[in-house]
Structures are given as structure tokens and as C-alpha cells.
Structure 1
Amino acid sequence: MSSALAQTLIVMPAFNEEDAVAGVVAEVRAALRGVHVLVVNDGSRDDTVGEARRAGAAVVDLPFNLGVGGAMRTGFKYARAHGFRYVVQVDSDGQHDPAGVPKILDALQTHDVAIGARFAGEGDYTVRGPRKWAMKVLAVVIGRIAGTRLTDTTSGFRGAGPRAIEIFAEHYPAEYLGDTIESLVLAARAGCTIQQVPVTMRERAGGTPSHAPVKAAVYLGRAAIALVIALWRPPLTLQPEAGTTP
């Protein structure tokens, strides 16, 4: 695993996360010796950049807010340009436990995309109401598209191997829920293989949630629109990595 970590870029999208980002960077670097950490500052108005740099992360400072999808596409471009074999997204708010990264990297030895799933038998993370049912429906539909059983298609704790990095660097979706739902449909329809692994999620260490609780009632409708957009777009053709099998 140490050799895989040396080839891994941890990408942390960050928007106004000065309260948490330094601690998360420090925790990742301590838990995953030899891994490289990139914070993509997504147009923050606070001192996210300074906190990330002081904690030892490389930083790409976007001049305005693109959303998680735009920030992650920047991260994939960076990984491709610098020769990284694996990319793992770790949120800068502290929800993602870096102890789950080795599981994701293990899955990437045989699959193109690996999802750290909250509802796969580990931890006690729960959701309720319309959001819960929306997530169940999405998991069934996208699981069928991907040809595998999925339980958590909206998890942002996920990794990409060489073939997925190549396609995500150019086509990673930036729309609402595109970084989760649409990216999985995009990858599956391009021929990427997907696997989920159980992980533990935690409460935010700081910052502001991206979705207020009052918006939960419209989550299903928005998720359905995101799925329709993903299916409406023509599938991409992904060339196999030279000298390897997916």
C-alpha cells in the first residue's frame, strides 16, 4: 500500500473552510505517510488558502467559486499533469476519515472508480425523510447502469484510477449533483468499472454545510433532473490504459 500511496493525490475541494482545512490536511498527512495532498480553493472569501498552505498542502487557488465538480475537475487535471496514478477525494470539512483511504485504494487495484459508502455496513451515519428515499432510488438506478450493487451514490468520499482520471480531467460534471450522480453514470457508460467499500463518516469539523436542511424536500426532484441529464448526454469512449487491464 505504501507504493500506491506514493502514487496517490488526495484532492480536497474547499470553500470557506479556514476553520477545518488545516486540521484535515494534518490528519491526512499523518495517517497516510507519503501521500500528496492538494487543496483546491474554490473561490473562498476567508483564509482557506493560508491555512492549507501552512498545514503543508499544495494549493490551487481558483479565482471564483465553481462548485465541487469544477474544483474536482481541476484536481483531476493536476493529477494527470503531475503523473499521479490515483486520485481520492477527501472533503476539507473533516467528514471523511482518512483511515478509509486504503480501502478505496485496494478497490482501485481492480476497478476504475471506488466509492466510500456510508450505508454498507460500517459506522452509524443516517439520513431521513425525502433525502433518504431519493438516495435509495438513485442507488438502485445507478447500480443497474453500472452493473453492480450500490448503496451510496451521493458519497463524495471516492477514488479514481488511471482510466477514470483521464476521462474526469476533461469531462467531470460541474452541475448540481454532477460530481456524484452524473460522474458515476458518465464513468459507467464509458466502460469504467465501479465498486463500493464500507467507510465511516463523521460530523463536520467546521464551515457551512453546502445544503441547508430546509432544502431536503426538493432533493428528490433535483436528483431526478441530474440523473436525466446524465442519461441524456451521449456516452464517452474511453481507451484502455496502455499495457494494463482495467
Structure 2
Amino acid sequence: MSATPAGRIARTLAAIEYHALHYRGMFLATLATTIVTPLLYYLAIGELLGRHVDATRFGSDSYIDHLAPALIPTFALQLVVAATVNPVVACWKWTDTYATMRTSPMTAGEIGLGHVSFVWLRLVLSCLIYTAIAQLFLHDSLSAAARWFTSGLVVGMSMSTVLYALAVRVNHDATLALVSRLVVLPMTFLSGAFFPYDQLPAPLRQIAVVSPLTHGTSLATGADESALGVVLRIAYLAAIMAAGAVASRSALRNRLEV
């Protein structure tokens, strides 16, 4: 087993290649979903329902001006849930893919990093699509579009490692079904994407302020005008990602090396 950096990189790339080849048959179907989902949200909620919303509460001229960028982090979160939770459980529990990889020179860390890196590649492509579709509705500046893309990327990356750790640790499949109901949905409705954050009751605001999606939504909508505020939000999301990465590595080692 080569312990050199080049060897580790080669084995991680091999893991990424496996997941890419496995995903190839589903690419067109998921690509269609990635395009259609934001279009339907923007048309149904942003344009049609938005005609009846007082957009001045968001500091915008129209509801779609707020909703289009605000939903990009939400779409990114939904993507990493779909790309991480069940696929990871399948790899270590249902198909024994990880166990098979472990019979090769790959370490548990390289197996996990390869899988998460593939999820990040999907995330980059999806955030580019979400940003392009939002730009079709808003025709905003390139700097604004870059902010939207970044917000989706940092939220997706931070939550991907947390969800990966959860998927490796959980033994009961029923628990994973609760992720969307008890994690994704509350985070979405408390994020300030659909209605102003300051309209939440005080106890819910205290819960929402620790949610990565709330910080991602604020980044996307430009709620923080100061550079310090933006840096602090990104640092918070990076800390969550790092904590999730440590937990993921530990959990995967326990699964594969004990």
C-alpha cells in the first residue's frame, strides 16, 4: 500500500470514478429534476403566488427578486440529502460496496473522501444550474450570481459531511426517513426563504439562527452588507463542514476497520 500523497490521491480518485460510473445511468434523470424543480418553484410561487405578496417586507420590488436567490441554498440542501443519505447507507449496508473497496489498498478515509468529493462535484454542477435559472428570472449582475452560487455551495458542502456521518452511524433505516421531515423541512421554513426571518416568534428565531440554511439564505439574498458578516457566516458553515468531516471519518473507520 502506497502511503505517499500521490498514492492517496490516486486511490481517492479511483473512489470518485466508481461513484461517477455508477451515477452515469441516472445522470439525465437527475439533470432533468435539477432543471425542472427550480423552474416550477419560481413560476408557481415566485411569479403566480408572488403577485399577492407584499415584497417590500423583503426589501425587494417583487417576491421573485427575493425568492429566486433565497431558494438556491435550499435546493442545494435537498440535493445533498438525496445524494448522500440513502446512497451512503447502500454502500456500507445494502450492497457492501465499501467493504469491497476496503479489500483493496483504499483506507476508510479515502473511501469516504472519494464519496463526499463526488457529491461535491454534483453539487457544483447543480448550483451552476440553479444560479443560471435564477438569472433567467432576475437578470442581475454577475457579482450577485456569484453570491447565489457560493451560498448554495457552502450550504451543500457543510451539510454533506454532517449527513454523511449520520448515514454511516445510523443502524435503522426508519431513522433516515425522518431526516427530510425533522431536519430538511424545518430548516427550510425557518430559513427566511419564504417569509421574513424577523417575523418568526422569538423561540423559533433562536433555533433558526443555528441552522446552516438560515446563514446560506442570508448570504444568497445579501442580507449581510458588511464583509465581516459574510466572512463570519462562511466561517460558521466551514466549521460545521469540518466537524462533520471528523465525525464521518471516525464513523466510517468504526464501520470498516473494527
Q: TM-score, normalised by structure 1?
A: 0.28
Q: Which structure has the larger Rg over C-alpha atoms?
A: 2
Q: TM-score, normalised by structure 2?
A: 0.27
Greater share of helix:
2
Greater share of strand:
1
